[in-house]
Amino acid sequence: MVFSSISFLYYFLPLCILCYFLIPKKFRNFVLLIFSLFFYFYGESKYIIVLIFSCILNYYSGKLIIKYPMQKKFWLIANLAINFGLLFYFKYFNFFITNINALFHINFSLFHIIMPIGISFFTFQATSYVIDIYKGKIQPAKNVFDFATYLTLFPQLIAGPIVRYETVSQEMQNRTTSVSLVASGLKRFIIGLGKKVLLANLLGAFATSLETIATPTILSFWLKALAYTFQIYYDFSGYSDMAIGLGLVFGFHFLENFNYPLIASSITDFWRRWHISLSTWFRDYVYIPLGGNRAGKLKQMRNILLVWLITGLWHGASWNFVLWGLYFAVLLLLEKFVWQKFLDKHKVFAHITTFILILFSFIIFQTESITGIGLFFKNLFNFTLPFTNVETNFYLRNYLVILLLAFIGMGPWIKNLYNKIATSKVGKKVLIVLEPIGLMILLFIITGYIIDDSYNPFLYFRF
């Protein structure tokens, strides 16, 4: 079940909200647990047992670390071995066998493995819980049902953000709800849904159209790269908006996951703004334990390369993701040790070059074969191709408004204008009337697109 579906919007979510607010507060975690398990079962019935096993494993691992402090390192290592062993089996085992076959010219049979949806997200979330108990940063959940509610909470279960237990530990037991909080959450959800359906889906359709043109042009490849980048951004940031909004509806305050990353002034700045929950996870649980930047430049360079190799692999069992991670590692090393001072002095140049480098990164991210990546980059600068033609111009005209909206939406300009209006006396009164109407109209338009459009993927579900 995806958020941008009729079954979720008009059946599952209203029923969940109704049950949640009708029953006494002490049973609300249980209601969320039941609905979350059903949400996962609806889309991944075969592997719900993996999710339930993860709940039991990680809850009792935390308890064992507290109960047997002298053996807590053993329990931590055992927990990490099982968690990442499962992740390796489901996500990387066939990739490993395929590469062994190619390297040694043998023919081991591949297993028929279907990766459980969201396993990367709930594995990272669960391990952060156990590691934080080991470090003494948090206390274990009150009971296994509360922990299972935290781990399976449907707003962020499938595609994040990666919510650490310390962020919601107090709210698991004592959270407040109000009409204004629910309204704020639903507003955030509808805006995120609009980003997903009206921008990401249409930009994905634009990219698909450009792949099928009879005579490719230089402009068609640049437009395709632009469409890829915007599609991934609006798809994933839209999902994060929806998750954060739904969290507010139920009284949870998840941390922000995106902060206008496409206007970043450097790659370092980009990763402070993009998928914040993942980048901070790798910083806190991999980079810093490896020594971070505390052990000299050579080890810092090693740590950066290792972290980004793992980051690339986290996104998928494919060499393009490995290359994608190493691409960012090289750029970050160059920034840190070569050209950061130059970028700091030339802000306009820094923003433009960073955007182009991000554009290039998502060509690597989206193109599965290494050969295909090389060909794509070659065609960006292939002056034997025509710069444009009638077919390219046709698709550009058809999607020009969507591209302009995508450019406008990548920065905080609309938000700043809204805040300026909302802080004025007249604007505040106008928004009280017009904002609910506008959101209802937006939801109506989104519903129409969902009903009519068969192109409705969530790109990060595969991770």
Query: Nearest-CA neighbor of 301 among 271, 326, 269, 275?
Result: 326
453: left (phi over 0), alpha (psi -120 to 50) or beta: beta
- 3-state secondary structure string across 312-363: HHHHCCCHHHHHHHHHHHHHHHHHHHHHHHHHHHCHHHHHHHHHHHHHHHHH
| Other Cβ atoms closer than 10 A to 32 | 22
Give the residue numbers marked as catalytic. 315
151/85 Cα distance (integer angstroms) = 19
Cβ density class 238-254: b for 16+ within 10 Å, e for less: bbbbbbbbbbbbbbbeb
First-to-last alpha carbon distance for the chain, in angstroms, is 16
CA geometry: angle 216, 222, 228, nearest 5 deg:
105
Tell me how far the alpha carbon of residue 326 is from its chain's centroid: 19
Number of DSSP helices (H) and strands (E) in the chain, helices first:
23, 0
State whether residue 311 is helix, strand or coil.
Answer: helix
